[in-house]
Amino acid sequence: MTRLLLHKGAHVEDHDVDGYTSLHTAACKGHINIVNMLLERGADVNAINTRHNTPLHLATLQGHDDIIGLLVDRGAVLEARNEDGWTPLYLAVYYRRAYRIIEVLLKLGSDPRTRADDDTTLLDALGEAESLPARLENVSGIRELLQRAGCTEKTGRFPINSFRRRAGEAKAST
The residue ranges of every structural domain in the chain are 78-161
How many CB atoms are located within 10 Å of the residue 106 CB? 20
- pLDDT tens digits along 6-31: 555 667 777 789 989 999 999 999 99
Report the pLDDT value the prediction gives residue 84, as an integer from 0 to 100: 92
Contacts of residue 13, defined as CB under 8 A and 6 or more positions apart, other chains included, come to: 21, 43, 44, 47
Please give the residue that has the higher pLDDT: either 160 or 143. Answer: 143
Q: What percent of the chain has pLDDT over 70?
A: 76
CATH of 78-161, one of 2.40.50.140, 1.25.40.20, 1.20.1250.20, 3.40.50.2300: 1.25.40.20
Burial class of residue 159 (count of CB atoms within 10 Å of its CB; 0-12, 13-18, 19+): buried
Report the pLDDT value the prediction gives residue 156, as an integer from 0 to 100: 61
